[in-house]
Structure 1
Amino acid sequence: MWKLIDRETAGDGSDLFVAMTLVETGADAVLYTSTRYGGSVRGWSLAKGLDALSAPLPQGRSDAAGVAADLVYLPIGDGALLYGGGGTGGLFLRLMRSDGALATPLSLGAPKALKGNDLTHAAAVTLDDGRIAVIGGLARTDGIGTLIFDASGKLVSSAIGQTGAQAVTAVAATEIGGKDYILTLGDGAAPILKLWSMGADAALTERASLSSAQGLWVQAPTALATAALDGKTFAIVAAAGSSSLTVVQIGSSGSLTVRDHVLDDQNTRFGGATALEVVQAQGAVWVLTGGDDGGLSLLRLLPDGRLLSAGMLADTDAMGLQGIYGIAAQAAGDGLDVYVTSTEGGVTRLHATLPSGKLISGTAAVLSGGTGDDILMDGAGSQTLKGGAGADVFVMASDGRADTISGFELGKDRIDLSAWGLIRSLDQLTFASKSNGITITYGKEVLQVLSSTGKTIKAAQLSLSDLVDMSHLPPVLPDLPPSTNVPGGLTALRGSSAEDRLVGSGRADTLMGFGGDDTLWGNDGKDLIQGGGGGDELYGGNGADRIYGGDGKDVLWAGAGNDSLWGGSGDDTLWGQNGNDSLSGGNGRDLLQGGNGNDTLRGENGDDTLRGDAGADSLVGAAGADVLYGGAGNDRMWGGNGADLLQGGNGNDKLYGGSSNDKLYGENGNDSLWGDNGNDKLYGGANNDLLYGGAGRDRLEGGGAKDTLYGGGSADTLLGQDGTDKLYGENGNDWLEGGAGNDTLFGGAGADTLIGGTGVDALTGGTGADVFVFQRASDSAKGKPDTITDFSRGTDHIDLRPIDADAALKGDQAFAFLGTKAFSADGHGEVRVADHARGVLASIDINGDGRMDMEILLSHLSTLSASDFLL
């Protein structure tokens, strides 16, 4: 289904493209990429693959270098690109030529009406009079701003549309019934999605809003997109803190209604979701998403607003899909061409083959598929669904009526029962094998499945993934039943071995479900709730509750108050919700979500997923290969035993990998990462981070801003990337690469390799036979040389082999060493040395024109010879 087509990367940290947009330009399409503010923009022709239209073009001045950038396409002339917006005066406009190449940038300065703020996360709308309105969040403050351009690209108006709103993290535009609307996504303790109508001069009027009280159960929202399908308009929200996708329908009158809410799990790849792309192809709407989960997820949007999984792609070393920044896609042939940028640098091009079948729905008594991979949607009433040939998906409705699937191919077809309820285990379903299939029952829902072979189907032949598509949450939680007030101040309710429904009072209650799949509500008061055996649903309500899942796959909801939740055995789901909660998974593969407040989450045994959400949380994976997401706030995270994945999210976080081979991502904030034992991978992300590899062969990547990296023992790889970094290899034969910025590298003990990268770097090899590698002239530029502080002649070497000394000849030619002689200008690259006040200066003529192109300063030396170089 997925195929890697190409990956373009410089391999030196200069191609960390944090923003991307795809523009159709007639017969061609152009992909535009941008590094962080203060870096560069670039265009790539897609007609013949990833063909760069030019060298990287400087963005222009910005007072927010190192902050993630934006790219907004404006339909002006042959097109225009608006970028920048990190702080004050950082907005630039580049007009496009007919071939997609970018013209000289025009600085927009700092519009006075925006009170010195730029725009971020912006979207463009064409007004009725042909002018272009750009609406975005205000940089460095809360609120929304507007810029208006005329048809020539001249900025003619600017204004602050709204103040006092949350910090805007995403903006999207849509049109409904001929009217333009803007959606804004605000971050905070309670994220809010707002819908605005546009009036004259792009004036905004709020029409509707959604928060957690209306079902927008997200933390740290990151991306927003819109889609039109079957006469309806939807918005899709991606959130990193909750690792979720939420579908919201936009009504024709300006209403917002949640239609679906999906959490990342072991069968998807959008944990820590940061990027979102929506594209139409083959008459359907497809959603692509990814984040810090090592891969991509492809989903299909159904006409009722539900999302259906269409597959996922796991990252490999060749793909570069870890820590995704951006996703762009276009319809191509039998599927989609997909372009991805990430923390691993460069642009990755993939092709995804789409299912060939049809979407079949309606209220007819019989719905029949064809020869392709069809989707058959159950409607109201009793129906028979016939898939036919192909790998079909049967999406069942929650209507309390008996339905039939005919011709089910075991191991090929899938059934989606997620609309029936919170099904997290096959133990929640009742199976009755028949001679020609099987009957599945859940409450009032009954489904008869007839096999394609006419033979019986046993429950043991079915897995949860055969019957439930992804981890859906109901758009609306069930209403709490009325309280049962019992005199005496304490209520004790006991269930049975059957399916019980117990409701507490407004006091301190004790509810015990015992056997069966029970539903227990504590309501108000400090309650003790015990599920017992079976797959139970337990709701704490208000008050400081203690909730025990017991055996089976349980779902625990804490409610308000400082609650304590224990999952017990089985694959459990624990929700802290509001308050400072304590969650313990117990045995099994558990999902723990802290919610608001300063929570403590402990996975215990099994491969668990822990999400802190908002607040200063403590997450402990303990045993197993765990996934930990800090979310918003200053979090502390311990992986424990097993190969763990830790993601800090927003805030100044502290991450500890523990034993085994762990992956740690600091993300936003000034983070501290410790790999500890094992061969770990540490990624700092944005801001000023501190990384310690510890024991084992570790890989450390700083990211943006000023990072400090310590390799520890063994042979480590340290990459500073953007910013002014400090790298310490310590023990072992280490690889140190500064990347962009003025970096300081210390090899330490061992035979180390040091690469300063661009900028004015200071390189200290330490003890051992060290090699100082220079890959291009900009690594140690004329007038701005790198300094090698402790070069040991006869032991260390300066490696110039990555640079070709004669581009006119085939192959990679070596430099000629001249000693103190002048350059000969014979067309061949040469190296000469000369005395310097601080030591020896090595000058390099790369193209043989007799002029110096780069220079390297070696302090505390008096001479160099050819044997000191690898030419």
Structure 2
Amino acid sequence: MMLQFERVVATGSAALDSGIGDTALKTFNGDTYLYSVTGPGGGVAVWKLSDGLIPQLTDTVYFSGALATTAGRMGFPVSLAGEDQLILSVRYASGLVGYAMNPDGTLGQLHESSGLVGGGNLSAVAQVSTSLGDVLVLAQNDIGQIATYSVDAQGDLQLVQMVSAAVDSMQTVTIGANHVVVASDSISSSFTTFSVDDATGGLSAVDNSEVLATLGIAVPTKIDVVQAYNQSWVIVAGSESNSLSVMKLTSDGRLDPTDHVLDSRHTRFESVQDLSVVNVDGHVFVVAGGGDDGVSLFTLIPNGQLVYLDSFADTVESGLQNVEALSVAHVGDELQVLVSSQQDAGLTQLSVALPDLGVVRKGFGTVHGTAGADKLSGGILDTELLGGAGDDILIAGTGSTTMTGGSGADIFVMQFGSDPTTITDFQAGLDRLDMYDFPLLRTPGQLTFTATHQGARIGYLNEKVELISASGGGLTADQVFGAGFDGPDHIPVDFGDFGGLDPGSSDGVLGPVTINSETENPALAQAEIRFSLDGGGTVSVRTDEDGRFDLGLPPGVFSGELDIIKTYSTASSDINALDALQVLRMSVGLNPTWGAPAPENIIAADITRDGTVNALDALAILQTAVGQTSKHLPQWVFLDDDADLSGITRSNVDYETGVGVTIDGGGFATDMTSILLGNLEPV
């Protein structure tokens, strides 16, 4: 899919064409209208969007009277007492100011509702429907507050709550019975989620600081929310970090990062100012633009990663110098992208032709596509993905995956930690490999590339990809990758792939524990859960701060081995010099100070995991206790609660971690024993 320049459209009035600060979309009776706002001395222009046609200028309104000097450059469509309004940001206003939006797209009477506290100079507006009725969420940066208001039958506002927060981009989303507000502020470079009380409309902040600290989002300029693939997703534009970040959003407002991409010489979202997300028949598209004179197009795949599709750079005909605002609409058989510039007048119209969009499917065994543009994902078991005739995106699973793209221009997306992947019909110069899930991979030169008689074999770390040429014969690296990788750089969002969590991770629980996939697990806070399917691949997920996790398995019954990887929190100080002394006593044949050691004590003493308890274990524990660097880091081990430990002695520390489990319908519970290596306590 490609971004195609169509034209620049303008009203012919400098007051409405220059300095467009915001655009907004609204659909009436199946017709889509775009509203552009220019601010002081300007007004609002309304454009009707039609498939394959030039946007039709439908209405213009010039700010007059006090609005001519006090109106801002933003417009927010809302519904008040059954009437659609385009709310404006207005300095010094005592109420909520907005134009009625008529069913034919035109703007009607100017309204000012009563009951607004703190003035009408709004930086962001969102709306949510609750048991209380419609609730408006208004951000007022003049006073550094977010306020929620109930809306009565006459459209007047009643203050519910005000909380301290600076916000200039905001979205709401309803997940099941819960409502969440997602908000960001570019000045303070902050990002916050709030849960909304369904009965009262009140806000409660959700602490996501630890999650966000790992992403490196600098100066968030825009957020958008989309619901797809049975999940809610938040996408954040970071201007100074030149980044787009994707996070899964839970019903209680918690965030789980899934992707973080940086602008590169192939893309056009440096100093990103705006982004827009649209869901078309289950396929999610993202467009972003900023300070490097162009826009970039992505699609979001079911695992929460962005797959790069195309970029469009400014030309002498287009008007994309320093993108200010953009909106993306699904109109007929295309996406229409309308973009305003900080320097060029008018709106640049780009289009993306949408061929017959196919299915979005994930599974194992054989997964069939259609003649359209499909998104097919492999699973934990061995999988064959058959794309068909369209321009498909085929995504490797964790099990062994065989992909056949078919005749279209296909994108094959690799996944780190998967079993070997085979592509049966790679078309050089047409198909593309997306390997950005492989950590720290930036150029084809980092790969092991071997030409074979039928294609090529590619290796990276422990990953293996077999390419079979659609035309027969061997493939060269130039044929597969051309001048190099296209698209942005992807930064890992889970550094557990690089040898475990940071030593400041949370505490665990010593002794017998119950692992339950449907509840909190205090022993597993910030741990890695690995499930290796019998005869299949391995699923690896990270728990949250309460030890909750979801393996994301498809329906059915699966048997395999469950293992848990969790590092030690130095902040707990559970390992100290006394532990080193106890191990030193054990290394010379003495008992710990409390008496004979249990098998669990002997396991804990062997921190070097060399099978014996000796003075090297005592030294490594002492180094940890006093804060020195040791090559033998303490960590938690989890054993089957029914494991036979009777054969363990100080000279024979031999044990297996993990436990066999059967998972039915995605849920399971099992009993294990958790031991902190280096921590010696009576059992």
With the shorter chain as reference, the TM-score category is 0.5 to 0.7
Aligned partner of 1:853 in structure 2 is none
Aligned partner of 2:98 in structure 1 is 93
On the 8 A contact 2:135/2:201 being kept in 1, the answer is yes
Distance 2:413 2:390 in 1: 16
Distance 1:483 1:257 in 2: 17
SS in 2 for 1:339: strand
Residues 1:266 and 2:284 aligned together: no
Displacement, 1:125?
A: 1.6
Aligned partner of 2:468 in structure 1 is 450
Structure-2 change in CA distance of 1:191 and 1:229 (3 Å): same
Distance 2:212 2:48 in 1: 45
Distance 1:59 1:132 in 2: 30
Return the match for 2:426 from 403, 408, 413: 408
Aligned partner of 2:317 in structure 1 is 318
Displacement, 1:189?
A: 5.7
Aligned partner of 2:150 in structure 1 is 148
Aligned partner of 1:361 in structure 2 is 377
SS in 2 for 1:79: strand
Q: How does 1:154-165 map to 2 (within 5 A)?
A: 154-163=155-164, 165=165
Structure-2 change in CA distance of 1:341 and 1:86 (3 Å): farther
Structure-2 change in CA distance of 1:400 and 1:34 (3 Å): closer
The structure carrying a bigger helix percent of its residues is: 2
CA displacement, residues 305-341 of structure 1 (integer Å, 9 cap, x when unaligned): 1001121111122221222222222222332122222
On the 8 A contact 2:232/2:249 being kept in 1, the answer is yes
Aligned partner of 2:26 in structure 1 is 23
Q: How does 1:804-823 map to 2 (within 5 A)?
A: none
Distance 1:464 1:140 in 2: 52
Which structure has more relative contact order (CA 8 Å, sep 6+)? It is 2
On the 8 A contact 1:62/1:87 being kept in 2, the answer is no
On the 8 A contact 1:195/1:254 being kept in 2, the answer is yes
Distance 1:38 1:109 in 2: 25
Displacement, 1:362?
A: 2.6
Displacement, 1:376?
A: 0.6
SS in 2 for 1:265: coil
Residues 1:337 and 2:336 aligned together: yes
CA displacement, residues 531-587 of structure 1 (integer Å, 9 cap, x when unaligned): xxxxxxxxxxxxxxxxxxxxxxxxxxxxxxxxxxxxxxxxxxxxxxxxxxxxxxxxx
SS in 2 for 1:199: coil
Distance 1:142 1:471 in 2: 35
Distance 2:160 2:85 in 1: 21
Distance 1:90 1:80 in 2: 14
Distance 2:190 2:150 in 1: 28
Residues 1:61 and 2:74 aligned together: no
Aligned partner of 2:128 in structure 1 is 125
Aligned partner of 1:289 in structure 2 is 288
Distance 2:129 2:415 in 1: 40
Structure-2 change in CA distance of 1:464 and 1:146 (3 Å): farther
CA displacement, residues 158-211 of structure 1 (integer Å, 9 cap, x when unaligned): 255211x3x212110111013221111134565333242333342111234246
Displacement, 1:215?
A: 2.5
- Residue type of the partner of 1:161? M
Aligned partner of 2:236 in structure 1 is 237
Distance 1:404 1:224 in 2: 37
On the 8 A contact 1:215/1:258 being kept in 2, the answer is no
SS in 1 for 2:60: coil
Distance 1:28 1:226 in 2: 23
Aligned partner of 1:42 in structure 2 is 45
Aligned partner of 2:87 in structure 1 is 82
SS in 1 for 2:437: helix
- Residue type of the partner of 1:359? K
Displacement, 1:454?
A: 1.8
On the 8 A contact 1:417/1:469 being kept in 2, the answer is no
SS in 2 for 1:423: coil
On the 8 A contact 1:117/1:140 being kept in 2, the answer is no
On the 8 A contact 1:87/1:140 being kept in 2, the answer is no
- Residue type of the partner of 1:150? D
Displacement, 1:75?
A: 5.9
Return the match for 1:382 from 400, 403, 415: 400
Q: How does 1:363-512 map to 2 (within 5 A)?
A: 363=379, 364-463=382-481, 469-477=487-495
Displacement, 1:73?
A: 2.9
Please list every run of 5 or more consecutive structure 1 residues that lacks an aligned counterpart in the other structure: 485-871
CA displacement, residues 371-410 of structure 1 (integer Å, 9 cap, x when unaligned): 1111111001212111111111111111252221111011
Q: How does 1:447-846 map to 2 (within 5 A)?
A: 447-463=465-481, 469-477=487-495
Which shifted more, 67-76 or 262-271?
67-76
Return the match for 1:8 from 7, 10, 23: 10
Identical-pair percentage: 28
On the 8 A contact 1:403/1:447 being kept in 2, the answer is yes
CA displacement, residues 230-276 of structure 1 (integer Å, 9 cap, x when unaligned): 21110100121111110010124432111000111111111111111
SS in 2 for 1:105: strand
Aligned partner of 2:509 in structure 1 is none
Aligned partner of 2:639 in structure 1 is none
Distance 1:310 1:168 in 2: 31
On the 8 A contact 2:495/2:501 being kept in 1, the answer is no
- Residue type of the partner of 1:8? A
Displacement, 1:452?
A: 0.9
- Residue type of the partner of 2:226? A
Please list every run of 5 or more consecutive structure 2 residues that lacks an aligned counterpart in the other structure: 356-371, 504-683
Distance 2:418 2:16 in 1: 58
Displacement, 1:4?
A: 0.4
On the 8 A contact 1:37/1:69 being kept in 2, the answer is no
On the 8 A contact 1:89/1:118 being kept in 2, the answer is no
Displacement, 1:82?
A: 1.0
On the 8 A contact 1:392/1:412 being kept in 2, the answer is yes
Distance 2:197 2:341 in 1: 35
CA displacement, residues 497-549 of structure 1 (integer Å, 9 cap, x when unaligned): xxxxxxxxxxxxxxxxxxxxxxxxxxxxxxxxxxxxxxxxxxxxxxxxxxxxx
Structure-2 change in CA distance of 1:483 and 1:375 (3 Å): closer
Which shifted more, 420-429 or 136-145?
136-145
SS in 2 for 1:461: helix
Distance 1:480 1:58 in 2: 59
Aligned residues: 478
SS in 2 for 1:412: coil
- Residue type of the partner of 1:298? L
Distance 2:150 2:411 in 1: 47
Distance 1:483 1:324 in 2: 38
Distance 1:236 1:10 in 2: 35
On the 8 A contact 1:168/1:185 being kept in 2, the answer is yes
CA displacement, residues 596-629 of structure 1 (integer Å, 9 cap, x when unaligned): xxxxxxxxxxxxxxxxxxxxxxxxxxxxxxxxxx
- Residue type of the partner of 1:348? T
On the 8 A contact 1:70/1:121 being kept in 2, the answer is no
Displacement, 1:469?
A: 4.5
Distance 2:270 2:432 in 1: 24
Structure-2 change in CA distance of 1:122 and 1:213 (3 Å): closer
On the 8 A contact 1:62/1:84 being kept in 2, the answer is no
SS in 2 for 1:194: strand
Structure-2 change in CA distance of 1:159 and 1:86 (3 Å): farther
On the 8 A contact 2:15/2:43 being kept in 1, the answer is no
SS in 2 for 1:427: helix
CA displacement, residues 13-50 of structure 1 (integer Å, 9 cap, x when unaligned): 64222111111110422221211245312322335643
Aligned partner of 2:192 in structure 1 is 193
Structure-2 change in CA distance of 1:206 and 1:458 (3 Å): same
Distance 1:465 1:260 in 2: 25
On the 8 A contact 2:268/2:311 being kept in 1, the answer is yes
Q: Which runs of 4+ in 1 moved over 6 A?
A: 480-484
Aligned partner of 1:507 in structure 2 is none
